[in-house]
């Protein structure tokens, strides 16, 4: 008989024959298990970059040939006489802004998902400010030249423009397009406070879209100026539509997300028609058909939806990333510096109007490349690191703390997905 050293009174045979202890069943948990598998980085949506450039070129067509005002001084006559047929279509180019807002809703939801407040703030500031500051300084200097016929703003107003708060303060704008940046900033603030700060997730984002849609309608009905400034009833549907399309991008069978997109489209076309349509008159520069306005808004939503569903993946080309990189600086400088280019090429050099318009677009794209190459590429990452203290996205900082499960929810940041360096608008 063999005795085990641990229990001298028991035989080895009895120990081997003893039943193994049964492990206790796991305690039930009230919360669902968390998926800790790292999320795969989604492929970059280069088609979104291409759509950005299309929207920017639409706005440029509007500024160069679809309206009156300062561009008339640049041409020396009304653009309607220079482009007797095309000017009617150029007038619809202002709807490129609404397409920008849909894209922005998509991108900001993607960028803010799983990010800390500090990381989100740093991403947005680093995205907007370097090229914007450079454009403000450049336009101010060019307009201060004696040979330029356009008047520069006062030094004090130019300095206020660097804050991006010139619009609410009633200060003269250096860049005409900066009113759209004011709308973007208000959207960022709403999204940051209501979604990013408490922690982005599908349920919270759906609630945000529903609450913003209802609050914007109530704000419009109330007629309170502050409510309209904060809630932006005329632009909110485009931002929420883009957010809904990002939820569709994550899950194409999400019926609630499709509902957000549908309601946003219905309200968006209403506000676009209410803002841009007017009865035809003999003294109007152009007449916009309400049906064409609805069609362009619908096309913008449909294009982003096609990208969200992967229907345009076969058009994915590396050069689209370059197009996306040029869009924001081009958008900033094309209007005011375009006036100078048009005046020089058409009135001083006698180049035909059509060729002048194409050359002006090409010159503004070249300037946009210079701003991207020599301002954004080095200043954007430097500013982002400075604002986050060198912390990686999602780490604890003095402005915000990573949310539980943030690493599991994280998707590749918007800057890496939609552009080569970091994008917006």
- Give average pLDDT by consecutive 10-residue segment, the chain, 425 residues: 45 46 51 40 77 96 92 93 92 96 96 91 94 96 88 92 94 94 96 94 96 96 93 97 97 96 97 87 75 97 96 84 92 96 95 96 97 95 87 44 37 40 41
Phi, psi for residue 219 in degrees, rounded to 5: -65, -40
Sequence-distant (≥ 6) Cβ neighbours of residue 142 within 8 angstroms: 148, 336, 337, 340
Q: Give the per-residue pLDDT at 388.
A: 85
What is the b/e burial string over 194-219, where b = at least 16 CB atoms within 10 angstroms of the residue's CB? bbbbebbeeeebbebbeebbebbeeb
pLDDT for residue 183 = 96
Q: Residue 394 phi/psi, 5° resolution? A: 95, -5
Give the pTM. 0.82
Q: Who contacts 177 (Cβ-Cβ below 8 Å, separation ≥6)?
A: 59, 331, 332, 335
pLDDT of residue 78: 92
The pLDDT of residue 220 is 93
Encoded tokens for 260: 């957000």
The pLDDT, as a whole number, for residue 15 is 40
């Amino acid at each position: 008989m063999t005795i085990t050293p641990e229990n001298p009174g028991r035989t080895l045979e009895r120990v081997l024959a003893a039943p193994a202890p049964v492990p206790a069943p796991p305690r039930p948990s009230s919360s669902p298990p968390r998926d800790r598998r790292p999320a795969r980085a989604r492929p970059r949506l280069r088609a979104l970059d291409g759509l950005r450039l299309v929207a920017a070129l639409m706005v440029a067509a509007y500024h160069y040939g679809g309206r009156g005002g300062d561009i008339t001084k640049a041409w020396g006559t009304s653009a309607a006489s220079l482009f007797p047929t095309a000017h009617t279509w150029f007038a619809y180019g202002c709807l490129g802004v609404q397409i920008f807002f849909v894209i922005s809703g998509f991108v900001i939801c993607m960028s803010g998902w799983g990010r800390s407040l500090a990381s989100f703030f740093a991403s947005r500031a680093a995205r907007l400010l370097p090229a914007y500051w450079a454009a403000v300084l450049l336009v101010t200097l060019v307009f201060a030249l004696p040979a330029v016929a356009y008047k520069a703003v006062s030094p004090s107003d130019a300095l206020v423009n660097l804050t991006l708060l010139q619009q609410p303060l009633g200060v003269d704008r250096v860049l005409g397009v900066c009113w759209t940046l004011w709308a973007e900033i208000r959207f960022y603030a709403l999204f940051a406070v209501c979604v990013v700060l408490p922690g982005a997730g599908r349920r919270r984002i759906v609630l945000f879209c529903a609450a913003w849609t209802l609050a914007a309608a109530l704000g419009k009905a109330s007629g309170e100026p502050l409510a309209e400034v904060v809630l932006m009833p005329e632009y909110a549907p485009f931002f929420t539509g883009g957010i809904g399309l990002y939820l569709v991008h994550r899950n194409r069978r999400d019926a609630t997300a499709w509902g957000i997109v549908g309601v946003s489209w219905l309200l968006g076309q209403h506000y676009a028609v209410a803002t841009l349509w007017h009865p035809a008159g003999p003294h109007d520069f152009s007449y916009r058909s309400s049906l064409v306005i609805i069609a362009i808004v619908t096309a913008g939503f449909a294009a982003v939806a096609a990208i969200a569903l992967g229907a345009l993946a076969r058009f994915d080309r590396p050069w689209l990333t370059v197009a996306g990189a040029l869009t924001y600086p081009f958008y900033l400088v094309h209007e005011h510096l375009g006036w100078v280019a048009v005046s020089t090429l058409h009135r001083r050099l006698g180049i035909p109007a059509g060729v002048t318009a194409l050359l002006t677009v090409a010159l503004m794209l070249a300037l946009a490349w210079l701003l991207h190459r020599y301002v954004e590429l080095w200043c954007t990452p430097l500013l982002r690191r400075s604002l986050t203290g060198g912390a990686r996205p999602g780490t604890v900082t003095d402005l915000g703390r990573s949310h539980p499960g943030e690493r599991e929810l994280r998707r590749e940041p918007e800057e890496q997905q939609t552009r080569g360096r970091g994008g917006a608008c």
